[in-house]
Amino acid sequence: MASVPRTDSPHLILGGCTRPAMRTLEVLSPEDGGLLAEVGRAGPGDFEEAIRTAAACRRALAEEPAWRRKERLRALAEALRLRAAEAAEILAREAGKPLRYARGEVERAVTTLELSAEEAGRLDGRLQPLDGLPAGAGRLALERRVPRGLCAFITPFNFPLNLVCHKIGPAMAVGAPWILKPAEKTPLSALFLGELLQDCEPPAPEGAWSILPALPEDASALLRSEEVRVLSFTGSARVGWKLRREAAAPTVILELGGSGATILAEDWPLEDALDRCARAAFAYSGQVCISLQRLLVPETLREPVLAGLAERAASLRRGPVLDEATEIGPLIREPEAQRVCAWIEEAVARGARLHAGGGRDGAFVEPAVLERVPHDLPLWREEVFGPVVVVETWRDFDEALELAGEGPWGLQAGLLTRDWERIRRAWSRLECGQILAGDTCMFRVDSMPYGGTKRSGLGREGVRDAVRALTEARTLILPG
């Protein structure tokens, strides 16, 4: 196995320094449930200390010149690039992610850090003459962006490296101190990144950052402390909205889930649509918040779509996550696989038709294709977070838009059509953060604005948008 970050004697990274841990967390393999590693588990006192040390260096970080922040981020990106193979193996093992997808995540993480480095040199403000009113004659308002302050980041298991970079990269770019609590199921890649950051030049001011694996109950100080100015969470809606209610932080950013819908129209080439939709539904066993869960097709295309998706689902290669040929792997834990299969069985009992998959072997779920799922069931209304796609037919495009907008979610929607009028209508009517014209709902590049509406979240990420979210305006009025 690739070197697991310092698990011979469990440690924490607190204030940028490695220290022994009094307690441990077990990291289990999604493939077989076996023990991968034991890492340090932070306690409430560790979080309180991390908050104190980070708050103490807030001014030093904010006054650091942009070129130092830029060079630090570039150094971290290059260090990760040079050890990409190790990072990918750690990701594959801890998250159950097939190696081909793990490599892609490492490449994206490098890009996210590079984009953050670029943004470090772009923090700007504006100049506004105030002579539009008599009292402002001769005066100027000069605005600059400054970091809001200490950031608390909580990240999920499904992209445990790149989503960490989406949090810490913008914070490092703007000069904000930060504390990261990675997902307790997948802390190894975050610790690996932290050890790379410890060796980067120029070093960050002492105390400026911490990576603290922990259980949720250990990290309550991140919610209570008024020193924490930004809380940014990516994960489940149930947890995210609860954190928002409890957080003392004045700025809360939530990147939550969805039940991703894509509308397929008659003008899109069918084979290309089937290839795209199969990837969007089954990549990383559907454990992606923008996975394709609901595919809306014209009635005339129902039979070829169901047959084509079923064929593609059955052809996906299952195997060890480190095997180059493996296309489909396990869910993160067996109870999640049991839940997904229970939802499928519930739908079939209510009259849904299963065209492919749905079986289970431990944490592995066979990629499933269904139709006629009742709309009051979780398989339609909730985020399945498993390898399942539900096909529904429509007679006219307005009906397709109604189906796509059903339910409490509003993250992304896809439109497989070249009809500009239909694209315009969807952009106007669908309540979601992003609408993808000419693709499925599962598309993201790390520079784009990204976030949801309704139950799917609050605020926007993507490197440039995150940089703005982590800063605020400070204005100087110059005398006349």
420 and 467 fall within a common domain: no
pLDDT tens, position by position, 255-296: 999 999 999 999 999 999 999 999 999 999 999 999 999 999
Instruction: Write out the two tokens for 36.
Output: 């991968």
Helical ranges in 175-319 per DSSP H: 188-198, 221-224, 237-246, 270-282, 302-315
237 and 383 fall within a common domain: no
pLDDT tens, position by position, 404-454: 999 999 999 999 999 999 999 999 999 999 999 999 999 999 999 999 999
33 and 158 fall within a common domain: yes
Residue 358 dihedral angles phi and psi, to the nearest 5°: 95, -10
| Domain span at 303 | 261-446
Query: Considering the domain boundaries, does residue 152 fall inside one?
Result: yes
Per-residue pLDDT tens, the chain, 480 aa: give them: 455 554 457 899 999 999 999 999 999 999 999 999 999 999 999 999 999 999 999 999 989 999 999 999 999 999 999 999 999 999 999 999 999 999 999 999 999 999 999 999 898 889 999 999 999 999 999 999 999 999 999 999 999 999 999 999 999 999 999 999 999 999 999 999 999 999 999 999 989 999 999 999 999 999 999 999 999 999 999 999 999 999 999 999 999 999 999 999 999 999 999 999 999 999 999 999 999 999 999 999 999 999 999 999 999 999 999 999 999 999 999 999 999 999 999 999 999 999 999 999 999 999 999 999 999 999 999 999 999 999 999 999 999 999 999 999 999 999 999 999 999 999 999 999 999 999 999 999 999 999 999 999 999 999 999 999 999 999 999 997
Q: What is the pTM of this model?
A: 0.96
117 and 26 fall within a common domain: yes
172 and 277 fall within a common domain: no
Query: Considering the domain boundaries, does residue 303 fall inside one?
Result: yes
218 and 281 fall within a common domain: no
Query: Considering the domain boundaries, does residue 6 fall inside one?
Result: no
246 and 389 fall within a common domain: no
112 and 42 fall within a common domain: yes
310 and 225 fall within a common domain: no
Instruction: Indicate the number of domains in the chain.
Output: 2
Dihedral, CA of residue 325, residue 164, residue 109 and residue 412, to nearest 10: 80
For residue 378, give the CATH number of its domain.
Answer: 3.40.309.10
169 and 211 fall within a common domain: yes
The residues carrying an active-site annotation are: 255, 289
For residue 165, give the CATH number of its domain.
Answer: 3.40.605.10
For the chain, how are helix, strand and coil distributed in percent, rounded to 5?
40, 25, 35
25 and 155 fall within a common domain: yes
192 and 48 fall within a common domain: yes
Question: How many helices and strands (H and E) does the chain possess?
Answer: 16, 24
Query: Considering the domain boundaries, does residue 97 fall inside one?
Result: yes
Q: Which residues of 353-390 are buried (b: 16+ CB within 10 A; e: fewer)?
A: ebbbbbebeebbbbbbbbbebeeebbbbbbbbbbbbbb
